[in-house]
Structure 1
């Protein structure tokens, strides 16, 4: 009973640690659902069919990341900084994405037959329709999630992240049960469930999403700071989108659908080690924005150190279990990519730690530092992927990503030392962290 009461208090609390706990739990559930989805699709379509499905669903994610223009992050920043004008910020953000969706959809419609030239014509046709439908949905998801974060509505934020893959999994199981193995129907089901989740989120945030009519001068005044900050972080997010998706672009252009099927499975399985760090990065930025610089650095630094320590202690023994589960759940053919899986596990925790640290730059209004870091790391990673992939295949891609993650972390630490005069020793180790962790554990047991 005592443990149940402690869990209940941790789940219901509104502090930073409580919010991270809830978001970490949601991340874990999302990871479980995504893994189950990978298992179902691997069993439904096999290695090559899994790769073709991944090629279809890849493009909306990439394109939505390229045309976000920093608005989700800017919406969080401006809503946290501004006393009034919130309605105008929200209205301007959503209205701007409408023409962006149309233009992006048109480009995708004419470009996908060329981008997927190495795939069967029916795969490119399915990808066309799916991309046009999903780009506005994904842009809306990003804005709704940002609004929920800025308003402290993490139940909605976590719900969006969980319900989309959960509904997708339920739909896939339904299709499998009736014997429908069509990639087209799977893509249609993915789009429909995403629309339903977006509708639920917008209804849940109805008090904060009030479009009404155009506010004239007031909306124009609100749009200026919104796009001013968005332009600062857009470069960072653009490079981040390219960084996170360039590996799949390389596979699409240099390797086969079978390789893409193998890679999507081991990559998704390796992301289990990013559950806590992703939660921290997503929660820390809206929580610390507006605080004093010293407090931001102290809070983010402690989150970085504790997460890196805990995840490093977990990754070594459990990644061998992950390989075993990969063979049992997905099938023997997927063990072909086990070496890439090991490399991606370490890349995951190093990259996750660097993103936690980078959130402090955005919170202090210095996103240019993250842009510089991302530019250098992306350039190095792109060169490595293009160089290593033709020789080592999937292992070359995983090795290139691991080296890129190390470079990002090193550049972030160097920036903190040079710009903010933070001692590297203090950023990497602080014995008070253990006292802080012990106190938090005691609070949960009470």
Structure 2
């Protein structure tokens, strides 16, 4: 078939290509669209973080973080792997999807209430360096724990149903509403740690409740085989729980420990370093969202091949983005956040490396998740968790924020090697290449061009 120059394509054909791509439900287009939404979310979160940091300063930003992190941390920690179990079992047993969703919802509500109670009891002891007002606000935020757990189950439902459009809209609307509320607070001159915490916590609640009602209406089913499906969720969920818990701990544990050991201003500096370093994380997170449901349908060899292809492409782009960000950081941090945040520069560089390695590890872990072996990932990644927690408590009091960066990077490296070795010796497959190949680049070009050239041409005969 003759190659066409993109510039020669008529406007009507280009528009047809765009509409076709937007409506397409295959996994390649879903990954690209999810990545596009992730970029938009990244930009919104970056702007929100910049405004919040500039108006609150390091101390205020640290206090705000302490108030909003715990509800999310405990909710994710108490999910017991149910979202992953829902995706896996609904893909394997689509006829039971409705019962599985309702049972997952019941379990999520129970676990969310448990998380809420734990938070209310623990927070006064952990946040001793913060004011009583901050601690009380953080305790009240625990009310959101059940809603946050349910939101993860809803996200899983959208993923196994292939409804990435609705899934991405929810992901996009929540940070957009937060940014809107921050803008209103600035206009009203009401910016403080408490009002901004409300702006971060409140917008998602009505959206999550609305999506739950919508899915319940979709799945008006009789609860036949409820016990069997409950057993399916628990069996897979408990097996994958270690992996989910580790991912959650990796995301929050450093900030949680810093909140207990250092000043609010130190936490504010660290949060800025974390948010800026995670700008490059959207490659791996977007691919992971689509990879797990797709790989769950494949054979072992196909799942491993697809996983490594996704790893090579994602890691390459993440590394390129990381290099650019590392070079620009000395200019970007004081320009965006203010000179008070220059002290975050060193730990930012370490965290940038950690994010790159951890993103690749999460992608490689999807091979085990898709093949019904979540316990292996949980066990191996648990070693990384056992390393990072004592290192945080050992290094943070001695080296401050730099110690936190060293601990996080060391844990990421260890978990990466565990995953790679386990793919080779547990799955007993030949280890694919880790570096991007010419075939990977060609595959990317073919995937993208098929929506710009091939399909419109086929449509036109």
TM-score w.r.t. length of structure 1:
0.93
What residue in structure 1 maps to residue 7 of structure 2? none
What residue in structure 2 maps to residue 153 of structure 1? 163
Change (3 A) 1:229 1:342: same
What residue in structure 2 maps to residue 76 of structure 1? 87
CA distance in 2, matches of 1:424, 1:241: 28
Matches within 5 A, 1:172-183: 172-183=182-193
What residue in structure 2 maps to residue 165 of structure 1? 175
Deviations 1:282-304 (A, max 9, x none): 11001111211111011111111
- How far has the Cα of 1:20 moved from its partner? 0.8
CA distance in 1, matches of 2:231, 2:432: 40
CA distance in 1, matches of 2:402, 2:381: 23
What residue in structure 2 maps to residue 267 of structure 1? 274
What residue in structure 2 maps to residue 234 of structure 1? 241
Q: Choose the corresponding residue for 1:378, options 385, 394, 401.
A: 385
- How far has the Cα of 1:421 moved from its partner? 2.8
- How far has the Cα of 1:370 moved from its partner? 0.8
- How far has the Cα of 1:429 moved from its partner? 5.2
Contact 1:11–1:21 under 8 Å retained in 2: no
What residue in structure 1 maps to residue 74 of structure 2? 63
Question: Which 10-residue stretch deviates more, 116-125 or 199-208?
Answer: 199-208
What residue in structure 2 maps to residue 118 of structure 1? 129
Matches within 5 A, 1:41-56: 41-56=52-67
CA distance in 2, matches of 1:196, 1:315: 35
Secondary structure of 1:118 counterpart: coil
What residue in structure 1 maps to residue 144 of structure 2? 134
CA distance in 1, matches of 2:363, 2:123: 35
CA distance in 2, matches of 1:310, 1:192: 34
Contact 1:344–1:398 under 8 Å retained in 2: yes
What residue in structure 1 maps to residue 297 of structure 2? 290
What residue in structure 1 maps to residue 413 of structure 2? 406
Q: Choose the corresponding residue for 2:259, options 241, 252, 256.
A: 252
CA distance in 2, matches of 1:393, 1:399: 10
Contact 2:283–2:317 under 8 Å retained in 1: no
Q: Choose the corresponding residue for 1:35, options 46, 60, 79.
A: 46
Deviations 1:155-209 (A, max 9, x none): 1211222211111111121122112234333333444311122134235535534
CA distance in 2, matches of 1:439, 1:107: 51
Secondary structure of 2:94 counterpart: coil
| Match status 1:197 vs 2:197 | no
What residue in structure 1 maps to residue 456 of structure 2? none
- How far has the Cα of 1:326 moved from its partner? 1.7
What residue in structure 1 maps to residue 333 of structure 2? 326
| Match status 1:314 vs 2:321 | yes
Change (3 A) 1:396 1:82: same
Matches within 5 A, 1:392-431: 392-424=399-431, 426-428=433-435, 430-431=437-438
- How far has the Cα of 1:75 moved from its partner? 0.6
Change (3 A) 1:4 1:399: farther
Secondary structure of 2:119 counterpart: helix
Contact 2:82–2:153 under 8 Å retained in 1: yes
Change (3 A) 1:178 1:443: same
Contact 2:151–2:208 under 8 Å retained in 1: yes
Matched residues, number: 442
CA distance in 1, matches of 2:196, 2:322: 33
TM-score w.r.t. length of structure 2:
0.90
- How far has the Cα of 1:267 moved from its partner? 0.5
